[in-house]
Amino acid sequence: MREFMNITKALADENRVRMLLALRGGELCVCQITELFGLAPSTVSKHLSILYQAGLAEFRKDGRWMYYCLPGKTAPLTVRRAIDWVTHSINGDPQVVKDTARLKKILQIDPVVLCKRQCRD
């Protein structure tokens, strides 16, 4: 029951659902996610932390950069079903379509450049 409640709480925020869907394409640096959503880095980190705590995202650290991705096939069934449900339920949503198109452009920018730009702002 606790796992289910953590998942539903994590999915109760639009930004977290959008972040979860952004990770469908593979691993993203926090800088890329910050650029996509235009939120403060601390806000993005908090949202990603909640997704991680619910088991809906995994992370790795590489130097000063943090990378997030969806959990693998060894994730609990509840987590995999939740991700599938979200993906199938709102895949064609206009905001998700916009996010996908914007993310394609962001992925063409070197993450180091993004991070440096965000540090100056």
pLDDT over 70 (residue 1) = yes
Say what the pTM is: 0.91
Burial of residue 111 (number of CB atoms within 10 Å: 0-12, 13-18, 19+): middle
Confidence category of residue 3, pLDDT binned at 50, 70, 90: confident
Q: What is the pLDDT of residues 26-39, one digit of tens each?
A: 999 999 999 999 99
pLDDT score of 119 = 65
Expressed as residue numbers, the domain containing 63 is: 2-120
The tally of domains found in the chain comes to: 1
In this structure, what CATH number is given to the domain that contains residue 10? Answer: 1.10.10.10
